[in-house]
Amino acid sequence: MPTLFLLALRNMFAHRERALLLLAIVAGASGVLVLSVALTAGVAASHRAAIATFLSGELNVGGYFKVHPDSIAPVMGDAARVREVVTPLVPDGCALRERGRGRATVGVGRRRFESYLVSVDVAGERGAPGGFRMKEGSLDALAKARTVVLSSTVAERLQVGRGDIATLFAQPAGSLRRNAVDVEVVAILENAGLLGGSSGILVSNDTLRELEGYRPGSAGVLQLVCPVESRPDDPDALGGMWRDALRTSGFEVLPALNEAYGDKLGPMLREGWRGQRLDVSTWQDESAFLSFVTNGLAALSVLLGMVVLGVIVVGLFMALSVAVRERTREIGALRAMGMQRVSVVGLFLLEGLLLGFVGSMSGATLAWALCGLLRGHVALPAPLVNLFFSSTLPLEAGPGAAVLAVVLVTGAAGVAAVLPAFRAASLSPRSAMESL
Amino acid sequence: MALVSFAFHGVLARPRSWVVGLLAAGSAALLTLGVALVGGISDGTRRSLIESGTGDLQLYNATSTGTPVVVQDSGGAPELQPIPDFANVEARVRAVDGVREVVPLEVGGAWVFRGNYLDEKLSSVRAVAREPASPAREARLALLGADLERTLRDVVRDDGRRAEAFAFLKEDEAREDRLALEAVAEPAFWERFRAEPLETLEYLENRVARQVGEGASIDVEFLASDLALFPRAFPRFELVSGSLPPPGQRGLMLGQGLYEQHFKLPVAALLDTLHRERSRGATFAQDESLRTVAERCLVELPDLLARLDAERSQAVAQALGTLLGHPGEVEPLLREFLTLDDANFDARYQQFQDVLAPHLPLYRVRPGDTLVLMSPNGSLGVTGVPVRVWGTFRFKGLGGDLSRVNSLGLLDLVTARFLANRRTQAEDEEVRKDVEALGLAQPMAPTDLALQPAAIIEAPEPGGEGPPGAAPPVFARHEAFPEHFTPEAMRGGGVLQAALVLEPGADAGAVAERIDALAKETGAPLATVDWSEAGGLLAGVVGITQVVLLALAALMSLFVVMVSGSTLLLLARERVGEVGTLRAVGMQRREVFAVLLCEGLLLGVLGAGLGVGLGVALLRLVAGQGLPVRDESLQVFMGGNVLMPQLSATAGVVVVAVVGAVVVAASLVPAWRGSAVLPIEAMRKRED
């Protein structure tokens, strides 16, 4: 085996030019694979970060209250009791964050922008993981009564800046009543892609209560926030436990549904129940409406991977077939010197695998380095910023992507080498010598 | 010529070089398929948009800050200035060569509330109460009244729980609401109901029903236009039910898709969904999504029951008793009837349509009813504009009822203007005159300060104004949103944009230039955008498919260059002897290079030609009748329910040229290397 390996290495050296070319192809292929996987992972990561900031904790207990069947409010009247039940089930290192949910229109002059609204507990958010990133001002300013933070998308559309006064209208789902509060814009959020347009209004929990007429002590949702290292492994299982605990304490809990809270409001508005119900959801549920982006990118990566691997198999197959023809004399000599057929097959396979391995390793390493280099430095055009939730190209190359690329590409190179290797082995020593 | 023939023989003599041709053929075939599919999508989307209201071009006021769109994104309508003196502009633009129709348009969104369960009960009681007195009426009224009393007791009980989540905003408002509910809970109230049903009903509608909520809101994205002109300009428009509003009358037409999805009884719409999915081969046994929809039927049941008055509920119970073979209460019977599986679904669906549907309020709105369209207005709050629904429509062949174009509403321009709170030119003129008459030299107040109350307002009698100091003017009652309008009010209301439908075969770019010239000549601030800009998000999707195709093609070209380059390099090396001989007999290096390059060109072009041919044959074979697109939401991109791949001759030639060029580029280095052989070296090599 080591002899074969040496031989294969020597062969590659002897045909440096061809070997370099093939290596370049293989390296390019694995580089493309690593980059596409890195992009998919990067977009998924930036989605998750944005979702964790704006919409959801690892787990959420949200409330829905229906006074009458044809009205609904996303609120739980007695958040303290819910907190009591859930607190013992909070994993170590994690915390509960109290937020409010709603939908509102911001108006300035003639301009209007309607969006989901997020309300925060200003003191509780300070220094917590997954905080909002501000372009101007800080979240602390929300502690003042009747203040609002707008996303840059909303601020641009309304042409307002810090210090301006805007009017916040809320029309609770299923009602004609509109409440309005005049608020001061105290900060502007950094560009947050689609979420900046769809959840671009931030107020304090107290302002939301005032706007919607909720009772003191109410909250929209309790969110479980964890630093990366103590994230629960199986949020669904933990969610099941929370659901059971809440049911045992006498709450009515809705069945699990893989949808964001905003998408549940419409259908629930037609359901006949009255009173308070709770809903436990995971971060995957809350980001279900975004999965089309990551799913699309993953599908594109698979397509790209298939094209790339196909090209490698065909390209290497042709190159190696030509090489076998070209090296007929050499093979003849080897066979004449007593090399077995198996060894010839092994030699050529090894060459293919070596090419694949060395090429893909270098390609993947280069792509990895490139990811690190480009990360945060390539500005994206506006429509992509909206979909990727990041103003620069999000690339997250994990070791997994590199290993996957190396394994796939080396495998493809091996497959491409099989037929030429057998063809080489099938040459008889005489015919090989005769081709001179 | 000799070079070409050399090259030809060279290629023929070396079957191994054919792999390069095959590679070219393969990539050309793939590219052909890709180009044809993307072409089909692009053409389908273009047709869908152009033929459903976008027109070939959109005309707008060039001084606007935004550009017109017909497909809105989440940010709302762009800011457009009205086209000044539209009637005149319309006549001039219509005279431009190539323009067939000029259709004034306005794009917007409004919403309507589904209404609460009390509304429907109250309206059925009201209908009976209005009948002339008879023993039958008394009996029905007593039945419905008892049902109403039960329902209202529930309302009062439900409201008791409000404080669990809400604190009242204003105490006065809260007190008034609470008093109304307390009154309803008294037995005296129901005695009054029996004596004076209509008055008590009014009290309930005004004081109680509004507390119960308005139900889900239904978003109605609309195109507003001249409803007499629109169907003429867009021949795919097809009336499904009802009629178009007569000229001069305000009205709303609902897209059949919107009507079926949002105005139909939810349970009936869910059953339609199940029926549609099953006719495509889905089954309850295999598809979880189907089971979820079926469960949803049961979840929606209380809503259906709450909306049935006592008479209908009895009729339904009776019909169900016959169908299921045993009598019972309406709720358990319906629950049993709607417990669906693969065995009973088809029969149940048919029974629902034939037997139950006549007893149910199947559609919330029927042609002839009035809907209140809500939109945010310039000041605080919302404007509600009542408008009559005249019928439903669809765009023929642009996807099924789930397609976006069939989920639009079509509105007259005047109602759209009411919704947008914009004044007409005549009104602006009047305001200006008043301002001048009062001697106020300040600039005119911005229009958005004008509040338009959604009720009866008072207006001075025309011509009744005397000189200052004379008798006070006489005011007449005046509708805020009159039902009828004059042609001037329609066109003079500040038309924001207009769709231009061109003569068949007219070039949109050329017409746009002619309109620019017209604008320069007359000084009118006119500008146009084409469908791809007005198509907004939808046209953006086409752009994305094109970019993806281009990226894949670029990637593929790179690999073709590398793989065929390496193959040709190896071949070139094998030919050292041959080239040496050629050089020895006097061929110049330049000529050898040209021969080798020519070989690449031959392989590339022949291969690509073969590939394109293969691609075309494959398209004919597989997609000759078009590719059926089942998903109705995708049909708008295909311009119908089949995707017709589009491949022009130019596109074919471009594919051949590009692939040929790629292969020639790949053979540059091998040709250079191959030709760089000294005759003497070649001879020497031959010897060892």
Same domain as A81, residue A36: no
Residues B250-300 pLDDT 10s: 999 999 989 998 899 889 999 998 998 888 888 888 888 888 888 888 888
Residues A356-374 pLDDT 10s: 999 999 999 999 898 888 8
- Which residues does chain A have within 8 Å of residue B164's beta carbon, measured at their own beta carbons? 65, 77-78, 215, 275-276
CA A373 vs. chain centroid, Å, equals 20
Q: Is A198 on the interface with B (CB under 8 A)?
A: yes
A76 to B167: CB separation less than 8 angstroms, yes or no: no
Partner residue facing B570 (CB), from A171, A213, A326: A326
Question: Averaged over A154-178, what is the pLDDT?
Answer: 82
For residue A363, the model assigns a pLDDT of 92
Give residue B445's pLDDT band: very low, low, confident or very high (50, 70, 90): very low
Task: Render A333-348 in DSSP notation, one character per residue.
Answer: HHHHTT--HHHHHHHH
Phi, psi of B458 (to 5 degrees): -110, 140
E-strand ranges in A263-386 read: 275-282
Question: Averaged over B644-659, what is the pLDDT?
Answer: 88
CA distance A241 to chain B (A): 24
Same domain as A421, residue A296: yes
Please check the confidence at residue A279 and state whether its pLDDT lies above 80.
yes
Domain boundary among A256, A286, A316: A286
Give residue B120's pLDDT band: very low, low, confident or very high (50, 70, 90): confident
Q: Which of the residue ranges A48-52, A370-374, B10-14, B282-286 would you say has the lowest mean pLDDT? A: B10-14
Q: Which of the residue ranges A83-87, B43-47, B296-300, B465-469 would you say has the lowest mean pLDDT? A: B465-469
Please check the confidence at residue B458 and state whether its pLDDT lies above 60.
no
Strands A201-204, A111-120: pairing is: parallel
Please check the confidence at residue A193 and state whether its pLDDT lies above 90.
no
For residue A366, the model assigns a pLDDT of 92
* Residue in this structure with the two tokens 């031989």, named with its chain if needed: A7
Same domain as A420, residue A391: yes
Residues B166-180 pLDDT 10s: 876 566 667 778 888
Residue B463 and residue B20: Cα distance in Å, rounded? 89
Structure tokens at B504: 């068949």
CA distance B383 to chain A (A): 11
C-alpha pair distances (Å), A24 with each of A28, A297, B556, B615: 6, 26, 15, 30
Question: Averaged over A108-113, what is the pLDDT?
Answer: 81
Same domain as A230, residue A162: yes
Q: Which chain B residue has its CA at the smallest distance from A195's CA?
A: B74
For residue B683, the model assigns a pLDDT of 67
Question: Averaged over B424-435, what is the pLDDT?
Answer: 74
Residues B471-500 pLDDT 10s: 444 444 556 788 888 877 777 767 889 999
For residue A411, the model assigns a pLDDT of 92
C-alpha pair distances (Å), B72 with each of B68, B151, B422, B533: 9, 42, 20, 11
For residue B75, the model assigns a pLDDT of 59
Average pLDDT over chain B, rounded to whole?
82
Question: Averaged over B92-106, what is the pLDDT?
Answer: 90
E-strand ranges in A177-321 read: 179-189, 201-204, 221-225, 275-282
Residue A422 and residue A405: Cα distance in Å, rounded? 26
For residue B456, the model assigns a pLDDT of 41
Please check the confidence at residue B466 and state whether its pLDDT lies above 50.
no
Please check the confidence at residue A376 and state whether its pLDDT lies above 50.
yes
Domain count, chain A: 2
Burial annotation A335-345 (CB, 10 A radius, 16+ → b, else e): beeebeeebbb
Q: Any idea of the CA torsion for A401, A402, A408, A412, to the nearest 10 degrees?
A: 140
- Which residues does chain A have within 8 Å of residue B633's beta carbon, measured at their own beta carbons? none
A311 to B563: CB separation less than 8 angstroms, yes or no: yes
* Among A residues 105-144, those touching chain B with beta carbons less than 8 Å apart: 105, 107, 109-110, 112-114
Give residue A410's pLDDT band: very low, low, confident or very high (50, 70, 90): very high
Domain boundary among A234, A251, A286: A286
Q: Are the C-beta atoms of residues B413 and B226 closer than 8 Å to each other?
A: yes
Same domain as A19, residue A121: no
Domain span holding position A163:
58-286
Largest CA distance in chain A: 97
Residue B592 and residue B596: Cα distance in Å, rounded? 6
Same domain as A222, residue A95: yes
Between B74 and B236, residue with greater pLDDT: B236
For residue A424, the model assigns a pLDDT of 85
For residue A301, the model assigns a pLDDT of 87
Q: Are the C-beta atoms of residues A34 and B124 closer than 8 Å to each other?
A: no
Give residue B102's pLDDT band: very low, low, confident or very high (50, 70, 90): very high
Burial annotation A120-130 (CB, 10 A radius, 16+ → b, else e): bbbeebeeeeb
Q: Which of the residue ranges A49-58, A305-314, A423-432, B446-455 would you say has the lowest mean pLDDT? A: B446-455
Same domain as A209, residue A172: yes
Please check the confidence at residue A408 and state whether its pLDDT lies above 50.
yes
Residue B302 bridge partners (DSSP): none
For residue B461, the model assigns a pLDDT of 40
Residue B497 bridge partners (DSSP): B60, B105
Same domain as A331, residue A232: no
For residue B255, the model assigns a pLDDT of 92
Give residue A245's pLDDT band: very low, low, confident or very high (50, 70, 90): very high
For residue B462, the model assigns a pLDDT of 41
Nearest to A62 by CA among A34, A30, A98: A98
Element at A135 (helix H, strand E): strand A134-136
Same domain as A177, residue A128: yes
A315 to B306: CB separation less than 8 angstroms, yes or no: no
Same domain as A166, residue A66: yes
- Which residues does chain B have within 8 Å of residue A110's beta carbon, measured at their own beta carbons? 378, 446, 448
* Among A residues 256-315, those touching chain B with beta carbons less than 8 Å apart: 266-267, 269-276, 300, 303-304, 307-308, 311, 314-315
* Among A residues 174-193, those touching chain B with beta carbons less than 8 Å apart: 174-176, 178-180
Give residue B468's pLDDT band: very low, low, confident or very high (50, 70, 90): very low
Question: Averaged over A180-188, what is the pLDDT?
Answer: 90
Chain A, chain B: beta-carbon pairs less than 8 Å apart: 186
Q: Which of the residue ranges A183-187, A282-286, A338-342 would you say has the lowest mean pLDDT? A: A338-342
CA distance B66 to chain A (A): 12
Please check the confidence at residue B442 and state whether its pLDDT lies above 60.
no
For residue A7, the model assigns a pLDDT of 82
Coil, strand or helix: which one is A62? strand
Residues B62-84 pLDDT 10s: 888 888 888 776 556 777 888 88
- The shares of helix, strand and coil residues in chain A, as percent rounded to the nearest 5, are 55, 20, 25
Same domain as A230, residue A97: yes
Nearest to B282 by CA among B634, B623, B628, B630: B630
For residue A99, the model assigns a pLDDT of 93
Question: Averaged over A209-233, what is the pLDDT?
Answer: 89
For residue B319, the model assigns a pLDDT of 92
Same domain as A162, residue A24: no
Structure tokens at B243: 């009629």
Chain A interface disruption, residue of B166, B300, B301, most A CBs within 10 A: B166
A319 to B570: CB separation less than 8 angstroms, yes or no: yes
Residue B237 and residue A19: Cα distance in Å, rounded? 64
C-alpha pair distances (Å), B456 with each of B1, B383, B447, B452, B485: 91, 14, 21, 10, 17
Give residue A17's pLDDT band: very low, low, confident or very high (50, 70, 90): confident
For residue B449, the model assigns a pLDDT of 42
CA distance A201 to chain B (A): 14
CB-based burial of residue B646 (10 Å sphere; 0-12 exposed, 13-18 middle, 19+ buried)? middle
Residue A386 and residue A388: Cα distance in Å, rounded? 6
Question: Averaged over B28-34, what is the pLDDT?
Answer: 89
Average pLDDT over chain A, rounded to whole?
86
Between A403 and A174, residue with greater pLDDT: A403
Residues B659-676 pLDDT 10s: 999 999 988 888 888 888
Structure tokens at B361: 């309020």
Please check the confidence at residue A434 and state whether its pLDDT lies above 70.
no
- Which residues does chain A have within 8 Å of residue B558's beta carbon, measured at their own beta carbons? 28
User: What percentage of residues in chain B have a pLDDT greater than 70?
Assistant: 89
Please check the confidence at residue A401 and state whether its pLDDT lies above 90.
no
A71 to B214: CB separation less than 8 angstroms, yes or no: yes
Domain boundary among A227, A254, A286: A286
ipTM field: 0.72
Between B438 and B207, residue with greater pLDDT: B207
Please check the confidence at residue B594 and state whether its pLDDT lies above 80.
yes
Question: Averaged over A249-260, what is the pLDDT?
Answer: 88
Please check the confidence at residue B455 and state whether its pLDDT lies above 50.
no
Give residue B571's pLDDT band: very low, low, confident or very high (50, 70, 90): confident
Phi, psi of B364 (to 5 degrees): -75, -25
B306 to A218: CB separation less than 8 angstroms, yes or no: no
Interhelix angle A16-54/A399-426, rounded to 10 degrees, is 150
Question: Averaged over A388-404, what is the pLDDT?
Answer: 82
For residue A201, the model assigns a pLDDT of 92
Q: Is A384 on the interface with B (CB under 8 A)?
A: no
Give residue B453's pLDDT band: very low, low, confident or very high (50, 70, 90): very low
C-alpha pair distances (Å), A51 with each of A229, B481, B665: 18, 45, 47
Question: Averaged over B224-228, what is the pLDDT?
Answer: 90
Give residue B685's pLDDT band: very low, low, confident or very high (50, 70, 90): low
Structure tokens at B433: 């005159």
Burial annotation B59-89 (CB, 10 A radius, 16+ → b, else e): bbbeebeebbbbbeeeeebbebebbeebeeb
